[in-house]
Amino acid sequence: MLPLLKATGIYKKYGSVEVLRGLDLELSKGQLVTIVGPSGCGKSTLLHILGTLDQADQGVVELEGVNLSTLNGRTLANFRNQKIGFVFQFHHLLPEFTALENVSIPGWIAGRKKSEVKKAAADLLEKLGLKDRLTHKPGELSGGEQQRVAVARALINQPSIVLADEPTGNLDGVHAKELHALFHALKKELGQTFVIVTHNEELAAQSDRVLTMRDGKFVI
């Protein structure tokens, strides 16, 4: 069976600084994988390359058998929007739009029917405990609620994989625990695949696999 995601020989330099040094990775569908390691070891750079937000200098990334380096422009943007969900440390919600609209936007960009996307967004927000917050704008939500809206937005197109970069980094202990529980519930209910970069040892300990990075490589 083909791995869901395969990265082979990934190298990345910024100027003279070698950030990733020949990194290999294979992930199966339905796994919750965490990547841990000291600041500056290349975790976020790797996540950005896996998510096509950045390009490797060398190496190949394949998602569902598609070599991502063969895609560009609109084709790449469409592939990213439909196949990859993102959750960042800061929610990056659009302040002038409601929770429901923020979650719906990637679905509308994908060309899906407006009413169908809105219903799916409302269902997701309800599943995430935000049934009474659909019409609230980000400024009217707590930090934990904002991050749950961001998770719903990442899931709206039923992506193959969700990439999360320090998703609990801006949350207090209680909200961080809630978000951990949510990731596990979504993995169980939807068979969703997650790759999560984190400094949170508790989250890492609960994952299916923990990958430790140091100096641009995985430590075995």
Task: Report if residue 61 sits inside a domain.
Answer: no
Measured CA to CA, the distance from residue 158 to residue 4 in angstroms comes to 14
What CATH number did the domain enclosing 126 receive?
Answer: 3.40.50.300
Task: Report if residue 13 sits inside a domain.
Answer: no
Task: Report if residue 184 sits inside a domain.
Answer: yes
Task: Report if residue 70 sits inside a domain.
Answer: no
Task: Report if residue 132 sits inside a domain.
Answer: yes
Task: Report if residue 212 sits inside a domain.
Answer: yes
Task: Report if residue 197 sits inside a domain.
Answer: yes
Answer yes or no: is pLDDT of 1 > 70.
Answer: no
Task: Report if residue 85 sits inside a domain.
Answer: yes
Phi, psi (degrees; rounded to nearest 5) at 181 = -60, -40
* Domain span including residue 88: 29-56+78-219
For the stretch 43-96, pLDDT in tens is 889 999 999 888 899 999 999 888 988 888 888 888 888 889 888 877 788 999
Residue in 211, 204, 189, 160 with CA at minimum distance from that of residue 29 = 160
pTM: 0.87
Quote the strand ranges of the chain, DSSP E: 5-14, 17-27, 32-36, 58-63, 66-67, 84-87, 161-165, 194-197, 209-214, 217-219
